[in-house]
């Protein structure tokens, strides 16, 4: 692709430090933004079509415009660096290699939203990144881009790094806010939305790391130019963290017009399936989005090429499609067991459930137990229908999307890999020693003329 | 640290303080430690207990000198994390959640650490140890023993 908007300078030596970052054009977005009215900065972000890069894909400019601005009440911008969605490691990459990009985006966004105290909530396990961020913040401050009266505009802003302590649920914006307040990470019922009543009851915007970093190229290029990159409602570039059984796992910045096939097989990206194996399945957007067999991944159910963008990945809904999600692209080869993989995810959601809502608290543990039974060769026929029933009763019946996130992988496994589950049930001894294999999952689906 | 938050909102320092306390007091949080943190923030002990029990990074039992936190979620599983966990159990002769008799090593299995492209892996202290193989595990164990 032509030019990377986020990672172009990521490997310039010393880019982690202010003087190199500045030399390479850094902080020009701040200079530009602070000459504009805050609302005009919000307008640029709206024009850009930027969508939340954490997983939900909600229009960022729109989210910003919801921010209530009552007189005399502080407003807060919170950066969601809690990255915990299995398969996702792109925010880590950005913060580790080019932290000033995030800091610069935060200064612009804080200005646009009127946040004088901005927090970066970073997952506790990214312990070594705290020092990297704090160094970048200190440097920005030393050079007049943070602190009091930034660039003589009268705008004050401080950025603080707040550590989490191991809780996927704290990636959900209201649970994150609860955690920032020093409490257990229990999500709140919405409405009220954080834009009205968030951190300490004040209007708050919570945005993902990548979303906030994207504000920098949006300011530098202008919203309209940014929107010209990509396609449809998938504007700009997206960071994809690719992992699983591929030759070149890692973080890639893509133009969202490339096909899924190109992303997996091209040397420019994943470099194909490792060890000469064949592709069996893929979860394209982090563990919460539906897993697809190879024949529905590379092409839609209609037989059209599938592309790495929001619309195309969602083509077919959950019946035959998936989602862009967080961009955590997990690839399974022909030797992998979908039952086992789904079990690890069920265990994950059970572990991470905050426990507030009965369907999620009870349902996640129940699904894990049944999947463990099936994986061990102790499953019975009715277990599969029971699993379907449980996930259906969790979905939509919880305060926060973790319930849905736990239900969707199980639903997709049953929807697309039912025969693999049934094979476990019907071959109790054999399934403990062997895997189901590729079966028909890569066979082209016959598309009626 | 309290200055990072608006007036009266010092409870927000709780999680950062618990991290510090855990580091200072042997890698785990006893009831006494938690009561002490409560007193620093002028909050009730229960407010500390309820937070410490929620977040998985806080250890509520003593741990060994070196804690191996091995990721076991999907993408790591695809790249052999199950085998690495079994190997560590075998080499150190402990189960998951247990500490070696000499108090040197504790094995914890944890959920996705955000290193999926560098799997299988573990967290040891503040850093990640990635691309683990049996050989690498042996080297890490040696390195820890030599740190005495």
Beta carbons of B12 and A126 less than 8 Å apart: no
How far away is chain B from the Cα of A331, in angstroms, using its nearest Cα?
8
Look at residue A11 in the predicted model and tell me its pLDDT: 94
Question: Is ipTM > 0.90 here?
Answer: yes
Q: Residue for token digits 């003593």?
A: B62
A250 closest CB neighbour out of B78, B117, B123: B117
Confidence band (pLDDT; 50, 70, 90) for A3?
Answer: confident
> Is the distance from CB of A357 to CB of A401 less than 8 angstroms?
no
pLDDT at B148 over 80: no
Mean pLDDT, chain B, whole residue set: 97
Confidence at A445, pLDDT banded by 50, 70, 90: confident
Domains of chain B (ranges, CATH numbers) = 2-52 (no CATH), 66-146 (3.40.30.10)
- pLDDT (0 to 100) of residue A449: 59
Helix (H, G, I), strand (E, B) or coil at A184: coil
pLDDT of residue A2: 57
pLDDT-based confidence at A78, cuts 50/70/90?
A: very high
Q: What is the CATH number of domain A338-433?
A: 1.20.1440.230
pLDDT the model gives residue A166: 97
CB B121 within 8 A of CB B115: yes
Q: How many CB atoms lie within 10 A of CB A300?
A: 19
Is residue A354 very low, low, confident or very high in pLDDT (cuts 50, 70, 90)? very high
Q: Can you tell me the distance from the alpha carbon of A265 to that of A364, in angstroms, rounded to the nearest whole number? A: 35
Query: Does the structure show a pLDDT above 90 at B1?
Result: no
Put simply, whether A174 touches B (Cβ < 8 Å) is no
Nearest Cα residue in chain A from B131? A249
Check CB contact under 8 Å for B77 and A348. Answer: no
> Taking a C-beta distance cutoff of 8 angstroms, is the pair A342, A290 a contact?
no
**Structure confidence at residue B2 as a pLDDT band (50, 70, 90):** confident
Token output for A253: 């910045």
Q: Which residues of B touch A (CB under 8 A)?
A: 4, 6, 9, 11-16, 18-19, 41, 47, 50-51, 54-58, 72-75, 77-79, 110-119, 123, 126-127
- Which residue of chain A is at minimal alpha-carbon distance from B124? A125
pLDDT interval class at A175 (50, 70, 90): very high
**What confidence category does residue A448 fall into, taking pLDDT thresholds of 50, 70 and 90?**
low
CATH number of A18-228: 3.40.50.11540
Q: Largest alpha-carbon pair distance within chain A?
A: 74
A221–chain B nearest CA distance, Å: 31
The pair of three-digit structure tokens given for residue A325, joined into one six-digit string: 């999600």
Residues 150-169 of A with CB under 8 A from B: 160, 162-168
Q: With both helix axes pointing from N to C terminus, report the angle between A99-113 and A38-48 in degrees, rounded to the nearest 10.
A: 120
DSSP characters over A212-239: HHHHHHHHHH-HHHHHHSEETTEESEEE
| Class in CATH terms, A239-333 | alpha beta
Q: Is the pLDDT of residue A446 over 90?
A: no
A112 has pLDDT over 70: yes
Query: What are the tens digits of pLDDT across the range A46-71?
Result: 999 999 999 999 999 999 999 999 99
Query: Where do the structural domains in chain A lie, given as residue ranges?
Result: 18-228, 239-333, 338-433
Backbone angles phi, psi at A111, to 5 degrees: -65, -45
What is the distance between the alpha carbons of residues B97 and B69, in angstroms, rounded to a whole number?
10
Which of B11, B18, B41 lies at the smallest CB-CB distance from A165?
B18
Question: Band of the pLDDT at B110, cuts 50, 70, 90?
Answer: very high
Backbone angles phi, psi at B59, to 5 degrees: -95, 125
């Amino acid at each position: 692709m032509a030019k990377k908007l986020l990672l172009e300078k990521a490997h310039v030596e010393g880019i982690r430090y202010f003087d190199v970052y500045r030399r390479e054009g850094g902080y020009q977005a701040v200079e530009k933004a602070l000459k504009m009215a805050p609302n005009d900065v919000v307008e640029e972000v709206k024009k850009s079509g930027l969508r939340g890069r954490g997983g939900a894909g909600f229009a960022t400019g729109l989210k910003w415009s919801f921010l209530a601005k009552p007189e005399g009440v502080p407003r807060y911008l919170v950066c969601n660096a809690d990255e915990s969605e299995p398969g996702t490691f792109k925010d880590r990459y950005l913060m580790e290699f080019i932290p000033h990009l995030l800091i610069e985006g935060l200064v612009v966004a804080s200005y646009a939203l009127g946040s004088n105290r901005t927090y970066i909530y970073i997952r506790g396990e990214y312990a070594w990144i705290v020092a990297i961020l704090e160094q970048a913040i200190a440097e920005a401050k030393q050079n007049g881009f943070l602190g009091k009266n930034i660039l003589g505009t009268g705008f004050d802003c401080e950025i603080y790094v707040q550590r989490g302590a191991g809780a996927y649920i704290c990636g959900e914006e209201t649970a994150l806010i609860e955690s920032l307040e020093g409490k257990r990470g229990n999500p709140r019922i919405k409405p009220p939305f954080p834009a009205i009543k968030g951190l300490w009851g004040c209007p708050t915007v919570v945005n993902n790391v990548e979303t906030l970093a994207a504000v920098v190229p949006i300011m530098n290029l202008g919203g309209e130019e940014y929107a010209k990159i990509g396609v449809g409602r998938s504007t700009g570039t997206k960071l994809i963290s690719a992992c699983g059984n591929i030759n070149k796992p890692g973080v890639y910045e893509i133009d969202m017009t490339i096909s899924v096939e190109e992303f997996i097989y091209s040397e420019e990206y994943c470099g194909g399936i490792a060890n000469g194996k064949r592709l069996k399945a893929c979860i394209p957007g982090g563990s919460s989005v539906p897993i697809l067999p190879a024949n529905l991944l590379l092409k839609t159910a209609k037989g059209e090429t599938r592309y790495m963008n929001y619309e195309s990945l969602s083509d077919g809904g959950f019946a035959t499609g998936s989602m862009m999600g967080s961009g955590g692209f997990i690839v399974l080869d022909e030797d992998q067991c979908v039952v086992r993989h789904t079990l690890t995810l069920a265990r994950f959601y059970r572990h991470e459930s905050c426990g507030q809502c009965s369907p999620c608290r009870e349902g996640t543990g129940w699904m894990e137990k049944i999947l463990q039974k099936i994986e061990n060769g102790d499953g019975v026929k009715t277990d599969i229908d029971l699993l379907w029933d449980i996930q259906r009763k969790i979905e939509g019946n919880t305060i926060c999307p973790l319930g849905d996130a736990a239900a969707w992988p199980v639903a997709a496994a049953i929807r697309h890999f039912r025969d693999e589950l049934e094979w476990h049930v019907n071959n109790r001894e054999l399934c403990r020693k062997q895997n189901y294999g590729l079966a028909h999952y890569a066979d082209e689906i016959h598309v009626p003329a | 640290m309290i200055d990072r938050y608006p007036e009266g909102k010092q409870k927000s320092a709780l999680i950062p303080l618990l991290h510090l306390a855990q580091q200072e007091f042997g890698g785990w949080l006893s009831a006494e430690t938690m009561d002490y943190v409560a007193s620093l923030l002028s909050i009730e002990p229960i407010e500390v207990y309820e937070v410490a029990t929620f977040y998985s990074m806080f250890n509520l039992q003593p741990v060994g000198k070196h804690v191996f936190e091995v990721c076991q979620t999907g993408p790591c599983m695809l790249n052999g994390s199950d085998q690495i966990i079994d190997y560590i159990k075998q080499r150190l002769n402990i189960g998951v959640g247990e500490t070696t008799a000499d108090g040197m090593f504790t094995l914890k299995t944890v959920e996705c650490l955000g290193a999926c492209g560098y799997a299988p892996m573990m967290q040891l202290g503040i850093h990640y140890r990635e691309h683990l193989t049996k050989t690498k595990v042996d080297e890490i164990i040696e390195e820890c023993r030599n740190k005495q």
